[in-house]
Amino acid sequence: MEKRLRLAPSPTGLFHIGTARTALFNWLYSKKVGGKFLIRIEDTDFIRSKSEYTNNILEGLNWLGLQWDEEPLKQSDRISIHKKYINKLLESGAAYRCFTTEDEISKLREEQKKKGLPPKHDNRHRNLSKEKIETFISQGKTSVIRFKIDEKIDIKWVDQIRGEIKWQGKDLGGDLVLSRRAMGYEIGDPLYNLAVVVDDNYMNITHVVRGEDHISNTAKQILIYEALDFKIPAFSHTPLILNSEGKKLSKRDCVTSIDEFRDMGYLPEALANYMAFLGWSPKSAENEILSLDEISKIFDLSDINKAGAKFSWEKLNWINSQYIKNLEPVKLSEIIWKYWENMGWEPPSQEWANKLAILIRDSMTLLKDSIDQSKPFFLIPTIQKEGQDFLETPESKLSLKLILNYLIEQNSIKLNKEKAKEIINEISKKHNIKKGILMKSLRVAFFGSLSGPDLIQSWELFAESKTDRTRIERCL
Ligand code: GLU
C-alpha cells in the first residue's frame, strides 16, 4: 500500500523552524519509502489564519526543496463534511449536545483549581433527555458537541519513535469538544481533533509524523478513529527543538522563522541538512554533510531521538560554511551578485565575479559575509594606521614606485596571476628588494592594511577592474 504522509500547518504565523523540521522528517520518510508527501492547510481558526502565512509556509517549503506531491488541501473547504461526521457521531450516541455555559465552565475550573486538580469537564450533559434538550434550546441556550470519553478506557499505540505509549481516558480532560458553540440544533464550526481525523482519513494518510506536543491529541484522535470506524494511521511524535538552556526554542531565541534564516544568509541546502540532524541520529553516516536525497536513503523514523534536540548556531554555521565552500563558483557568484546589487556594486564581468567568489568563499560563514569580504574589491579602502606606518618605511614607497613604473611601461600587458608573480620576481631581483616587502607594500596599497585575501589573485582582479594603479598611486 502506498505510504502517505502530510504536513498540516495552521497558517497563524510565519513558517517556523519546528514546523519546517516536521515537514522535513515527513518528506524524508515519504521519499525513503517511495510514498507521497502532502500538505493540508489547517485554516479553521478564522481569526488567526491568514493567507499570507499560507503563502509564507508554501514558499518556505519550496525554498527548502521540500516539494509536495498533490495539490494542498484547505481544511476550511471541508467544514460541511466535518459537520456531517459530527452528526454521525451524534446519531450513533458517541457524541452529544452540551449546553454548559462559559460561566459554568469557569466556575468548575475555579473549584478544581482550589482543590489542586487539573481542569476537566464533568460531562454533566452526557445523558440529557430529549425534553431537557428542547427546553434548553427554547431558552435560547447555545451548545457545543462533546465526544464521550470513557474514563476507564486504556488507549495504546506503538509510536514509531517512542515505542508503546499508553493513555487513560480519565486523563484526557473529560468529554471532548468537537465543535464551537451554535444556536438551536445547529452544529458549530468543527474543532481540530475532529477535523484532523476526518481529513487524515480522507487523504488516506498512513503515517502521522508530528511534534511531541500532540501526544495527548493522538490519544483523543484514536478514540474518534475507532468511533468512526476509520483505519488508524501509524503515529510518530518528534522531539522538540530546544534552545541552549534546554527550553523550547521560541521567538526570544532571536530567529525562528525560515524567512529569517534565509535573510541571515543561510543556504537552503545547508539549513535542511542541519535540520535533518536536529533530533535524528542515523546508525550509519560517516559524514554529516549530506544532500536531502542522500539523507532520504538512510533515513528512518526509528532513528529519531526521543529527547529534545538542542539547537546549535555553531553547528549550523559550520554546515553553512561547508556548503558555501562547495558551491560551484558560477552559482555562488550568482547568489552573492544580489548582495552586491543591493550595495550598488557592479562587477566588471561574470568571470571577474566568479574569481572573486572563489577568492572569498573560504572566509564566509553566511552569504551576507560576502559584503564585508568583497567590499575592498569594489571600494578603495582607506589606509589604516598599520598600513600608514608601513608606508613610512623608504623601501615600501620605493617598492610601490617600481611596481607602478613597471605597469606604466608595460601598459598593454594583460595582468594575470602568472604575470603578477613575474613582476614581483623581476623587480625583486633587479633592485634587490625582498619579495616580502614588495608584496606587503602592495597589500597596503590594495587593502589599506596588512591583512586580506591572497594578494596575487586579488591583484588579477584589481587589474581587471582597472583599480590597481589608482590604489598604488594614492600611496605615493
Ligand atoms: N495544525 C496542527 C499544528 O499545526 C497540526 C498538527 C498535526 O499534524 O496533526 O500543530
Between CA 207 and CA 205 the distance in angstroms is 6
Q: Position of cell 532520504? A: 296
Residue 392 confidence (pLDDT):
93
Q: Which of 203-212, 239-248, 394-403 has the lowest mean pLDDT?
A: 239-248
Buried b (16+ CB within 10 A) or exposed e, 178-199: bbebbeeeebbbbbbbbbbbbb
CB 222 less than 6 A from any atom of ligand 1: no
Q: What's residue 174's pLDDT? A: 97
Regarding the beta carbon of 360 and ligand 1, being less than 6 Å apart is answered no
5, 6, 7, 10: residue to mutate for ligand 1 pocket, most atoms within 8 A of CB:
10
Q: How high is the pLDDT of residue 283?
A: 82
Nearest CA to ligand 1 atom 4: 9
184-206 residue pLDDT tens: 999 999 999 999 999 999 999 99
pLDDT digits (tens, 9 = 90+) for 456-475: 999 999 999 999 999 999 99
Which residues 6+ apart lie within 8 Å of 341 measured at CB? Answer: none
- For residue 223, report the phi and psi dihedrals to the nearest 5 degrees: -65, -35
pLDDT(252) > 80: no
- The answer, yes or no, to whether any atom of ligand 1 lies below 6 A from the CB of 195, is no
Nearest CA to ligand 1 atom 6: 8
Q: Is the CB of 205 under 6 A from ligand 1?
A: no
The CA 9 to ligand 1 mean position distance, Å, reads 5
Looking at ligand 1, which atom is closest to the CA of residue 19? 4
Give the model confidence (pLDDT) of 39-71 as tens digits.
999 999 999 999 999 999 999 999 999 999 999
- Nearest Cα residue to atom 5 of ligand 1: 8
Cell of 87: 452528526
Unique residue bearing C-alpha cell 495504546? 156
Q: Which atom of ligand 1 is nearest to the CA of 42?
A: 1
Q: What is the DSSP letter of 216?
A: H
| Residue 267: other Cβ atoms inside 10 A | 23
The radius of gyration of the chain from alpha carbons, rounded to an integer in Å, stands at: 33
Rounded to the nearest angstrom, the gap between the alpha carbon of residue 208 and the centroid of all alpha carbons in its chain is 20
For residue 10 and ligand 1, the question of a CB distance below 6 A is answered with: yes
Domains 327-378 and 385-473 share a fold: no
Helix, strand or coil, per DSSP, at residue 453: coil
Single pTM value for the model? 0.92
User: Quick check: CB of 18 below 6 Å from ligand 1?
Assistant: no
**Domain locations along the chain:** 1-71+239-324, 79-192, 327-378, 385-473
Contacts of 226 (CB under 8 A, 6+ apart): 232
CA distance 72 to 7: 10
Ligand 1: residue whose CA is nearest its atom 7: 8
pLDDT digit string (tens) for 139-183? 999 999 999 999 999 999 999 999 999 999 999 999 999 999 999
Bridge partners of 211, per DSSP, are: 238
Sequence-distant (≥ 6) Cβ neighbours of residue 352 within 8 angstroms: 461, 464, 465
Q: What's the CATH code, domain 327-378?
A: 1.10.8
Rounded CA separation 351/413 (Å):
18
Residue of 22, 214, 235, 248 to test ligand 1 pocket, by largest number of atoms within 8 Å of CB: 214
The rounded distance, in Å, linking the Cα atoms of 58 and 67 is 9
How many helices and strands (H and E) does the chain possess? Answer: 20, 12
CATH 1.10.287.1060 fits 385-473, yes or no: no
20 lines ligand 1 (CB under 6 A): no
State the chain's mean pLDDT as an integer. Answer: 95
In short, whether 460's Cβ falls inside 6 Å of ligand 1 is no
Cell numbers linked to 452: 586580506
Q: Which of the listed residues 200, 203, 210 should we mutate to test ligand 1's pocket, taking the one with most ligand atoms within 8 A of CB?
A: 210
CATH topology of domain 1-71+239-324: Rossmann fold (3.40.50)
- How much is the pLDDT for 71? 98
**How far are the Cα atoms of 204, 244, 429 from residue 2, in angstroms, in the given order?**
9, 40, 75
Residue 8 Cβ < 6 Å to ligand 1: yes
Instruction: Please give the distance, rounded to the nearest whole angstrom, from the Cα atom of residue 155 to the centre of ligand 1.
Output: 20
For ligand 1, whether the C-beta of 16 sits within 6 Å is: no
Look-up of cell digits 550568482: 334
Calculate mean pLDDT across residues 424-433. 96
Cβ of residue 42 lying under 6 Å from some atom of ligand 1: yes
Q: Which tens digits make up the pLDDT trace of 271-316? A: 999 999 999 998 877 789 999 999 999 999 999 999 999 999 999 9
Q: What is the mean pLDDT of residues 116-123?
A: 96
Ligand 1 centroid distance, CA of 10 (Å):
7
CATH of range 79-192; options 3.30.230.70, 3.90.800.10, 3.40.50.880, 3.30.1340.30? 3.90.800.10
